[in-house]
Amino acid sequence: MVKSSTIFQQLLHKFQQLNINDNKHQDRFSQLILLCNELIENIPKITVADNNDFRDCVQLFYNEILEFESNIRIEDTKRISRDIFFAILDLLSKSQISTYLNGDEYTVTEHTVFYKCVTDLLLSYATSRLQNISFVNSDIGIRKYTDLFRTIYKRVVRDLEFRIQIKQEVIHDNTTTDYILSFLWNLSASIDIVPWLLGIDLAKSMLKCLKIIKPSSKIAQQIASIIHNISRHDDGTNELKQVNGLQILKDFQSNTTEKLDDVADLVTSMAIAQLSTAEQIRSDHKRMNRTLNQLLQITIDAAKDEHHQAEGFQLSEPLAVFTKLFVDDHSLEYVLNHAETDPQLTTSSTIALFVNLFIKYRDSFASEDWSKQFTCTALLNILWSISFQDRYKTKLKQNQDFLTAIKSLAMNDSEKIFNKYVSSSMESAANAANGILYNLGEISDTQLVSNAVSKKPTIMISYAHDNNQFCDKILTEFEKKRNLFEIWIDRDHCSSSEDLWEKIARGIGQSKVIVCLLSQEYFNSKSCRKEATFAIKRNKSIIPVYIGEPGDCDWLDIHIAGLKYVRFKGDKTELDRNKIQEMLRTIEATINETTTESLEQHTIPTQSRKETEKNKLTTLDINKAPEEWTSDDIQKWFSDYKVPDTLVKLFDFQSIAEMYRYASKLHVDSRNEFVKYRQRYAKQYPGDELEEYIFDRFQNALFKLPKNQLETKKISTSTPKSSTCTIS
């Protein structure tokens, strides 16, 4: 029998040989991972005499993987980083490591120190790789590690609870818990991963940790940052609200016994801003003003930095919070006119800061760097908010470079824009650019609608979850056609507290084409039947894609008879390339058939004679400037257009600026807004349905808004006879 010491001497020799042998690059990496796997397998055999050999093996593993990376070609960096990252996760998923992670920092066994050494190294290295990895909506690779991620965050909770029990005042450096939190912090920064992280209850666990740690502790910033990252996704916002996250964050920040450090305090404020309504932001203006000062200062400093970073923040982070806060005009006014920074900016220089940053990032859409595209999109949304204010329009219109850049983006639909997640507080780059041009009087109503019609259509994939593997292959092919269409699939929307069926119904409503992956499992699924029936009733274009020969289906066949279909031989490892091309051609042809809508479809039907005869004297003070309207005035305005209070309350407009902003959004995509709010209406008022003609009245009221005091005095005392889509 081979002695333990000999085992580790042999392992050390193998690691050393890797550095000597002239192996192919990829082979060397594979051998390195196999050796690390062997090292972990043999930890139970370690004796005291093996300690040095073991540590030498670990050090050589680390050195070798660094050297391997240093020889990677620049164009291969992202791909290789992904390979390394997932290989590291495979090592962390080994049963021996899981056993160690299921313990805690205070339970020491004979081999604990060796498992800790390997685990901490792997976590640290996986964290460092995350900066080179760009996850996408269709990325399912991370999902196979669900058990691993549950294990590591439970380790954090267990460790923190134990620290409280033993009243440990000093937190030791370099604990496994610290490495885990750093890893989760960096992982959650990839916003497309957030819905999946919600599915493993990370949000609830981090809030639980926040309630038991001391605000002054070194890990406060890490946990607050994870929560902030989660709050940047709408699903994360909904989840955090459901579990009282807003109040927990406020209590944490307001702790009177211990003070947060400046960075942790700012990150907490950013998360609070993401979870707050406009009314809540206004009611806590002192806290928010302090936050706005800090965010603008970071933006100023990051603008000067070569890598556009400041105080540990990327430029995109404060900008993303601004897009949420600027929904409230008071926040916008404060930043432009009253924010306290060094150097102190004037109104003109603050606007110039955002304009110049946009011009600098304008060409990001010609590259494949999503983070830069996101930064540019955030800047466009900020400038759109500014363009709603009459007194700032001149400053924007005087900058010809700005107008040229905006027009080139609004009119050019050939640029490749990554289909990454953007929160509901932001519009797409093209929509924001068109909105700015409209506000500045550079394009007309018709041009605005025309530009909106030209945006990419959405296709939805309807499938049975038993056919996940086949769906993954189809999705991979669809991803290659992102320049032609957007993709809606339920797996990107299933991890928040909002009812999944509501999201599916909204997805069907937004989609031009429904691609149904038909199999016997699909035919047997009540959920699939519900999806298909819902789409059929709404006259959606359906493309049947058969997986093999599933046979007949009584409830579906009658509806799809005669439709162009594609049939794959089965759920094979490799799909038939000819069939893939046939499927894509069918989708493109169907999209072309369904996008021949005329501009007349974007006008609102004329009210019936019966309704126009119901004239009603307005109770709105016609001499009152729109900027002075209160919530009561807003209610009266909608009442004059026969809009029910139930619908008005759903929007809760607090100023006419908010109404202008939403009217502009309706010009861009009124159909999508109707579908979205019909679902919200049904949820708010169970048993009641929002009729389209009622939404048309609401839309017409917004399109008829006066733009200044002179126009306010021209308000008719009767309900308009025509509800044609125009802006006074």
Residue-wise pLDDT tens digits, 46-79: 888 888 889 889 888 888 888 877 776 666 777 7
Look-up of token digits 């640290």: 124
Q: 691 or 342: whose pLDDT is higher? A: 342
What is the helix (H) or strand (E) element at residue 488, kind and residue range?
Answer: strand 486-488
The answer to whether residues 683 and 502 touch, using CB atoms and an 8 Å cutoff, is yes
Mean pLDDT of 693-719: 62
Of 99-113, 202-216, 705-719, the poorest mean pLDDT is in 705-719
3-state SS, residue 575: coil
DSSP, res 498: S
The answer to whether residues 179 and 88 touch, using CB atoms and an 8 Å cutoff, is no
Residue 573: pLDDT band (50, 70, 90) is: low
Tokens in use for 555? 């409830």
Which residues make beta-bridge pairs with 546? 518, 567
Question: What is the pLDDT, as a whole number, of residue 608?
Answer: 33
Cα–Cα dist 707/650, whole Å = 23
The answer to whether residues 260 and 217 touch, using CB atoms and an 8 Å cutoff, is no
Residue 349 CB partners (closer than 8 Å, separation 6+): none
Q: What region does 539 belong to: left with phi over 0, alpha with psi -120 to 50, or beta?
A: left
pLDDT for 461 beyond 90? yes
Of 19-33, 124-138, 154-168, 241-255, the poorest mean pLDDT is in 19-33
3-state SS, residue 112: helix
Question: What is the pLDDT, as a whole number, of residue 571?
Answer: 64
Of 364-368, 488-492, 538-542, the poorest mean pLDDT is in 364-368
Q: Residue 650 burial (CB < 10 Å; 0-12/13-18/19+)?
A: middle
**Full-model pTM:** 0.67
Compute how many other C-beta atoms are within 10 angstroms of the C-beta atom of residue 144: 12
Q: Taking CA 426 as the corner, what is the angle to CA 423 and CA 431, rounded to the nearest 5 degrees? A: 130
Cα–Cα dist 274/321, whole Å = 7
Q: 448 or 320: whose pLDDT is higher? A: 320
Question: What is the pLDDT, as a whole number, of residue 181?
Answer: 93
Question: What is the pLDDT, as a whole number, of residue 146?
Answer: 87
Residue 713: pLDDT band (50, 70, 90) is: very low
| Cis ω for the linkage preceding 343 (within 30 of 0) | yes
Cα–Cα dist 660/276, whole Å = 21
pLDDT in tens, 447-459: 655 555 456 788 9
Percent of the chain's residues with pLDDT above 90 = 28
Residue 229 has, within 13 A of its CA and on its CB side, a CA count of: 28
Instruction: Find the DSSP H helices in 42-172.
Output: 51-70, 77-92, 95-101, 112-129, 146-165
Mean pLDDT of 250-277: 87
Cα–Cα dist 147/128, whole Å = 22
Question: What is the pLDDT, as a whole number, of residue 318?
Answer: 95
Residue 5: pLDDT band (50, 70, 90) is: low
Cα–Cα dist 475/252, whole Å = 42
From residue 520, how far is each of 73, 225, 481, 642 by CA, in Å? 46, 46, 28, 50
* Mean pLDDT estimate for the chain: 81
pLDDT for 724 beyond 60? no
Cα–Cα dist 670/697, whole Å = 12
Q: 598 or 142: whose pLDDT is higher? A: 142
What is the helix (H) or strand (E) element at residue 546, kind and residue range?
Answer: strand 541-547
Question: What is the pLDDT, as a whole number, of residue 73?
Answer: 67
Residue 639: pLDDT band (50, 70, 90) is: confident
Q: Taking CA 34 as the corner, what is the angle to CA 29 and CA 37, rounded to the nearest 5 degrees? A: 130
Residue 559: pLDDT band (50, 70, 90) is: confident
Relative to beta strand 458-462, strand 486-488 is parallel
Q: What is the DSSP string of 598-635?
A: -GGGGSPPPPPHHHHT------S-TTS-GGG--HHHHH
Compute how many other C-beta atoms are within 10 angstroms of the C-beta atom of residue 713: 12
Mean pLDDT of 158-185: 75
Look-up of token digits 């806060």: 325
pLDDT in tens, 607-631: 332 233 333 334 566 677 888 888 8
Mean pLDDT of 223-234: 92
Q: Which amino acid is at 40?
A: I
Of 3-7, 92-96, 429-433, the poorest mean pLDDT is in 3-7
Cα–Cα dist 377/360, whole Å = 12
pLDDT for 719 beyond 50? no
Question: What is the pLDDT, as a whole number, of residue 333?
Answer: 92
Cα–Cα dist 175/116, whole Å = 9
Q: Taking CA 32 as the corner, what is the angle to CA 29 and CA 38, rounded to the nearest 5 degrees? A: 145
pLDDT in tens, 475-485: 888 888 877 88
pLDDT in tens, 506-525: 788 888 899 999 998 899 88
Residue 7: pLDDT band (50, 70, 90) is: confident
Question: What is the pLDDT, as a whole number, of residue 281?
Answer: 78
The answer to whether residues 659 and 630 touch, using CB atoms and an 8 Å cutoff, is no
Question: What is the pLDDT, as a whole number, of residue 277?
Answer: 78
Cα–Cα dist 265/382, whole Å = 24
Mean pLDDT of 583-592: 87
Tokens in use for 504? 């599916």
Question: What is the pLDDT, as a whole number, of residue 726?
Answer: 30
3-state SS, residue 544: strand
Q: Residue 275 burial (CB < 10 Å; 0-12/13-18/19+)?
A: buried
Q: Which amino acid is at 89?
A: L
Cα–Cα dist 577/560, whole Å = 24
Residue 654 CB partners (closer than 8 Å, separation 6+): 278, 279, 282, 328, 631, 634
Q: 109 or 47: whose pLDDT is higher? A: 47
The answer to whether residues 131 and 186 touch, using CB atoms and an 8 Å cutoff, is yes
Strand order in the sheet with 513-518: 486-488, 458-462, 513-518, 541-547, 566-568
Cα–Cα dist 239/426, whole Å = 19
Residue 646 has, within 13 A of its CA and on its CB side, a CA count of: 15
Cα–Cα dist 702/664, whole Å = 9
Question: What is the pLDDT, as a whole number, of residue 223?
Answer: 94
Mean pLDDT of 548-574: 83
CA nearest neighbour of 716 among 608, 618, 573: 618
Question: What is the pLDDT, as a whole number, of residue 591?
Answer: 84
The answer to whether residues 300 and 345 touch, using CB atoms and an 8 Å cutoff, is yes
